[in-house]
Copies of this chain bind each other. A is one copy, B any other.
Amino acid sequence: MRDAYHEELEALADRLVEMTRLVGSAISRASTALLDADLSLAESVIAADDAVDALRDDLDARALDLLARQQPVAGDLRVIVTSLRMTADLERMGDLARHVARVARRRYPESAVPAALRSTLVEMSQVAERLVAKAGSVIASQDVTAALELERDDDEMDRLHRHLYTALLHPASPYGVEAAIDITSVGRYYERFADHAVSVAGRVVYLVTGQRAEELVEPPA
């Protein structure tokens, strides 16, 4: 039987998973707002980021309270410190979803996404949603193998990100300065979103194995 203290520790993980769901919903809706130039959806994503921040505040307060009251050691200490770090990643992912929504709002009623780059942005949004969903599963399952797989999705995100620049810089590129600004910004937001999801998964790896994710995977050739 678990005591109240261990129940509180386990509740941290549940709330972290809940935070990944909020952030996943945010990036999904922000992407739709961007791709469909949907102003009201963009506004709703921007407004909803407060809930992510509130959940972060609540989680951090619980973690600090556990540190102060329970003076945890070893594994329990690592769970709490990891929670503090994951909330920072997830809060930032919420910000990045909001940034995507803001680009949609800024260009409304026009679309910030040129037609020829739409499919790349659709793929980036899908990879972002997949990454945050996997990060949530990994927090719940503590499955190290699954955690290490996020690197592969991140490689895919990097490839899509590079493709945006290649397309913008192509000699026959029809894009102007405004599109270059928007696409550079949005591309960066998705890429950073993915980095933070990988970071969350890496923290699970560290929590379970005591080793960094980098030490457990082959360096890229």
Contacts and interface: CB of A to CB of B under 8 A. Distances in A.
Interface in A85-106: 85, 88
Interface string A93-125: 000000000000000000000000000000000
B77 A68 contact: yes
A35 B67 CA distance: 47
Contacts of A185: 184, 188
A210 to B, nearest CB: 11
Contact of A169 (B168, B169, B177, B188): B177
Contact of A181 (B68, B84, B165, B178): B165
A68 B85 CA distance: 17
Interface in A132-183: 165, 168-169, 173, 175-178, 180-181
**Copies of this chain in the oligomer:** 2
Nearest to A178: B169
Nearest to A168: B177
A84 B86 CA distance: 13
A71 interface: yes
Nearest to A165: B181
A81 B169 CA distance: 44
A178 to B, nearest CB: 6
Contacts of A165: 181
A68 B67 CA distance: 10
A195 B128 CA distance: 24
A64 interface: yes
A73 B175 CA distance: 57
Interface in A168-221: 168-169, 173, 175-178, 180-181, 184-185, 188
14 contacts: A64-B77, A64-B81, A68-B73, A68-B77, A71-B71, A81-B84, A84-B84, A165-B181, A168-B177, A169-B178, A177-B180, A180-B180, A181-B184, A184-B185
The 4 closest A-B pairs by CB, nearest first: A180-B180, A71-B71, A184-B184, A177-B180
